[in-house]
Amino acid sequence: MTLFQDRERAFEQMFVHDEEARFRALARRNKLLGQWAATQLGLTGQKADAYVNEISRSLVARVIDEGLVEKLRADFEANGVTQSDEQIRERMSELMAAAVTQVRSSTW
């Protein structure tokens, strides 16, 4: 192989690794978000687990994030929990940072 081919392969492997890490972090963030929301809603046991699983299934970032904000706000409103869109987005950002840290250290 030539030096150029070696570099190309290395960049491809780095891209695959980065995308996998991003996917894992997003999946982890959504699980953490579901757990947080279930706690806010007062859900426990199987109801909490089902809610976490529902939120966890949303994996595509941008479009789904806005859908998650709307769903969580609607669920919160229906259950008398006060959380603004901004508060939900802020919590999502915090949980994404925690998820990235966890994925990098492989503690989840």
C-alpha 62/C-alpha 81 separation (Å) is: 25
pLDDT at 107: 54
C-alpha 55/C-alpha 21 separation (Å) is: 19
| More confident call, 91 vs 21 | 91
pLDDT in tens, 76-108: 999 999 999 999 999 999 998 999 888 888 755
Q: Which pTM value belongs to this model?
A: 0.63
Question: What DSSP assignment string belongs to 29-74?
Answer: HHHHHHHHHHHHTT--HHHHHHHHHHHHT---HHHHHHHHHHHHHH
Domains of the chain, each with CATH number or no CATH: 28-102 (1.10.790.20)
